[in-house]
Structure 1
Amino acid sequence: MQTLKQLQNGELKGTISLKLSEQLSHFPVEIFALADTLEYLDLSFNDLSTLPADFGRLRKLRIFFCSENRFTVLPEVLADCPHLDIVGFKSNQIETVPPRSVNPNLRWLILTNNSITGLPAEIGNCSRMQKLMLAGNRLKELPASLANCRNLELLRISANQLSEFPEWLLSLPKLAWLAFSGNPFSYKPIVQSLEPIDSRELQISELLGEGASGIISKATWRHAGETSEVAVKIFKGAVTSDGLPEDEMDACISAGNHDGLAELIGQITNHPENKKGLVMKLIPDTFYNLGLPPSFISCTRDVFKPGMGLTPAQILKITGTIASVAEHLHSKGIMHSDLYAHNILIDDEANTLFSDFGAACFYDASDIETARKLELLEVRAYGCLLDDLISLCNEAEHPGIEKLTALRDMCMSDDVSKRPLFYQILSQLHKL
């Protein structure tokens, strides 16, 4: 994090990346002195509500974040930056997205948690768009022109006011990660409660991890004269980039038991801050994340630690478990919507656990045609996982990997109808 004083003193001359958060109420004009070099600008967590009319002077700007500010209108001057690739205006007060504000060069647009009621048809001009984050707004419909965004891979429309599911989304050739829970059209099954666990029986000992929707901690559970170590997830309660925390909790519960899922023990009651939470079996510390979240460059695809490699046996075991979990979820009318390596935990023996239901969606499994298309959409995400893991294989000529490569191609087919369903994928994997 740099400072405004450094900028004003000329200490940041020639910088490529600038991040300022000092309760700024006006755009610092000194930023224009960096116009010849500046590619990344983050003005999040300030009090800005407008950008200067000559914002386009930042000709080299590629990434611009302006989240947690006071904008009510997405600035039209965003269109004046010819190389602008990624834009984030999360958690402002935006109600209006003018047609001109949608820079056609955009590849990744984040408008999560605003008050947007509609998008302009010009969004369909963004032919490079791969990632569009719209959860937590007031959208009543999506512009039909969005169907022109043939490179769109990830779309978040959860927690909006959509009265009908946009069926045409299911024909987009590259769409693989779609979250839509928390809309008026959303299917809501009856979710059975788990065993209630009084929060006073839990003693938190250490933080295990924190995500957008909640905090996971290790805890000691004292109950009925017995003591055991467990994991506890407390949901934050606010809308995330993926959707609503209560939808995540319902999906976790409805998923039930599977060897590839963390085992649920109960639901927390009597939380001192009245928050919702789950108690789970503690995952051994021998498990670690298979991948890392996408980077600015990879956009929708995971990245991996340098030098990481997997044997054919490990890859086949991991992909078999995930296919089995996905088939299990879809049999219950659940789409995980975030099938990624960074949401998969493995150990050195390739024992595998699938986690993070933050984007999960329910659908009516009795609507056979729509259910099939939703599953085929997630099959593409599975194909991307296969593609990633095959690239990590340390024995590319292995016959099993060659067959897995052919399966990957089927799963990633731009012709949605030619992709296999998960039960067919499992059948093929069993032959490898």
Structure 2
Amino acid sequence: MNTLAQLRAGQLAGQKRLDLCCDLTEFPDEIFQLADSLEILNLSGNRLSQLPEDLHRLTRLRILFCSDNQFTELPACLGQCLELSMIGFKANQIKSVPGAALPPQLRWLILTDNCIEHLPVELGERPRLQKLMLAGNRLQQLPSSLANCERLELIRLAANQLSELPEWLVRLPRLSWLAYAANPLCNDTRAPGAADHSQHIDWSQLELGQRLGEGASGVIYQAQWSVSGQPPRSVAVKLYKGSITSDGSPLNEMHACIAAGEHPNLIPVLGRVTGHPQNTAGLVMALIAPSFTNLAELPSFDSCSRDVYAHSLRFSADHALHIARGVAAAAGHLHAQGISHGDVYGHNMLFNPEGECLLGDFGAACFHATDDSPQTRALQRLEVRAFGILLGELLERIDSGLSDQSRTVLEDLQRRCMQPEVLARPGFTEVNEVLRAIR
């Protein structure tokens, strides 16, 4: 984190990135001294409500973060920043998004947790738009012009006021990651608050140990679960936060984890936490062996919608196929339960040296009907495209053991999973059959 004193003293000359979080109420004019170099500007966590009309003087600016401030309108001056492609205004009080605020190179827009009721038609006139984060607003509909955004791959719509998903949305040729839980359209009887039959585990039976990790939706701890008359059991406990995440509601995530049921490629849920002194929601899950690690890292600013893999990561054909089969089997199982995972990504998968794989992180999960309607098929085929991307990433990293014939079969499967005609893609039943047939 940089300081205002450093900026004013000229100590940051030539920097490409500037991070200022120092209770700012006005945009510091000294930032313009970096106009010849500044590409990433992070002003999150201040008390700003306006940006200067001549922000375009920062001619190299590509990425701007102004989350956790006091904006009520997305500043129109952003639209004049010709190189600006990523904008983040999460957790403000934004009600208005003028069309003039959308720069021509817009690729990644984050407006999570605001008060937005309408989006401008101009949003659909940004052909490079690839990621759109809108969870936690008041949207009742989407502009139909978004149907023109053929590069759009990820959209988060959870916790809004949508009564239906537009048909054009689920037919977008590249859409692969969709979250829409906690909208009026989600009238499924399994919605949060409905009865569930998961085991209830009293807080008094749990003794928390070390923190294992923290994500947007909650914190995971190692714990001991003690039941009278039984030896203590090592488990993992996830305690959920109450705030809206980029994907949606943490409580919807918890509900989807429970509803998913048992599968060898899902992390087993042992029960729901009850009796927490602060009424914090939580799940008790099986403790995963330390030999499991994340398959990939989150997308970077540059990769946008693509995971980042370790440069040295390589697989044998057997291990890559084991991972692909595990993910496809888990996704197929979820679809049979009427659940879309919404985030089939390498960074949400754990694998071990034997190629065993677990699909985790249900933050973007949504319920859908289990009938064979066009919308259900389309929602499931969006996830198939996400799997196709993963399959391609695995194929790129196989260094031994894959015959030419098997590679041809896998490349053909990947192509069919990613073809632009959504309903022409195979379902996971067929995907699993193809993968099982490869020897």
TM-score calculated relative to the size of structure 1: 0.98
CA distance in structure 1 between the partners assigned to 2:162 and 2:266 by the alignment: 31
Quick one: which amino acid aligns to residue 385 of structure 2?
R
Confirm whether residue 193 of structure 1 aligns to residue 197 of structure 2.
Answer: yes
Whole-Å separation in 1 of the counterparts to 2:396 and 2:366:
30
Q: CA deviation at 1:397?
A: 5.8
SS in 2 for 1:229: strand
Q: Do the aligned partners of 2:265 and 2:326 also contact (CA within 8 Å) in 1?
A: yes
How far, CA to CA, are the matches of 1:283 and 1:423 in structure 2? 28
In structure 2, the partner of 1:23 is 23
The residue type equivalent to 1:133 in the other structure is: M
User: Which residue is 1:174 aligned to?
Assistant: 174
Q: Report what 1:421 is aligned to.
A: 427
1:396 Cα deviation (Å)?
Answer: 8.2
Q: Which amino acid in structure 1 is aligned with residue 83 of structure 2?
A: H
> Tell me, which stretches of 5 or more residues in structure 1 are unaligned?
none
What is the distance in 1 between the residues matched to 2:11 and 2:67?
25
User: Could you tell me which residue of structure 2 aligns to residue 224 of structure 1?
Assistant: 228
Percent of aligned pairs sharing the same letter:
48
Contact in 2 for aligned 1:187/1:362 (Cα 8 Å): no
Report whether the alignment pairs 1:406 with 2:412.
yes
1:246-395 alignment, distance < 5 Å: 246-366=251-371, 368-395=373-400
1:139/1:161 contact within 8 Å kept? yes
SS at match of 2:122: helix
Give the TM-score normalised by the residue count of structure 2: 0.97
**Counterpart residue type for residue 418 of structure 1:** A
Alpha-carbon distance between aligned partners in 2 of 1:161 and 1:397, rounded to the nearest angstrom = 48
Corresponding residue for residue 59 of structure 1: 59
Q: CA offsets, 1:366-420, max 9 Å, x none?
A: 3622111111111000000001111111138633233211111110111213211
Letter in 1 for 2:197: S
Name the amino acid aligned to 2:202: D
In the aligned structure 2, how far is the partner of 1:11 from the partner of 1:255?
53
Equivalent in 205, 208, 213 of residue 209 of structure 2: 205
Shifted more, 158-167 versus 35-44: the winner is 158-167
Unmatched tracts of structure 2, length 5 or more: none
Looking at structure 2, the residues matched to 70 and 273 of structure 1 have their Cα atoms a distance apart, in angstroms, of 29
Q: How does 1:42-121 map to 2 (within 5 A)?
A: 42-121=42-121
- Are the counterparts in 1 of residues 108 and 132 from structure 2 also a CA contact under 8 Å? yes
SS in 2 for 1:394: strand
Cα distance, 1:15 vs. partner? 0.8
Distance 2:431 2:164 in 1: 31
Counterpart of 2:437 in 1: which secondary structure? coil
Deviations 1:280-310 (A, max 9, x none): 1111111110111101111001111121111
SS in 1 for 2:238: strand
Contact 1:187 1:364 in 2 (8 A): no
Partner of 1:33: 33
Q: Which moved more, 1:249-258 or 1:409-418?
A: 409-418
Structure 1 residue 106, shift from structure 2 partner: 0.5
Distance, in Å, in 1 between the alignment partners of 2:238 and 2:188 is 22
Following superposition, the deviation at residue 17 of structure 1 comes to 0.6
Name the CA distance, whole Å, in 2 between partners of 1:218 and 1:96.
43
Distance, in Å, in 1 between the alignment partners of 2:400 and 2:224 is 43
Please tell me whether the aligned partners of residues 212 and 220 of structure 2 are also in contact (alpha carbons under 8 angstroms): yes
Q: The residue matched to 1:136 in structure 2 has which SS? A: coil
Query: Quick one: distance in 2 between partners of 1:167 and 1:237?
Result: 32
* Counterpart AA for 2:437: K
Cα displacement (A) at 1:90: 0.4
Supply the distance in 1 between the matched residues of 2:104 and 2:337 (Cα, whole angstroms).
Answer: 39
- CA distance in structure 2 between the partners assigned to 1:199 and 1:306 by the alignment: 43
Equivalenced residues, count: 432
- CA-based RMSD of the aligned residues comes to 1.1
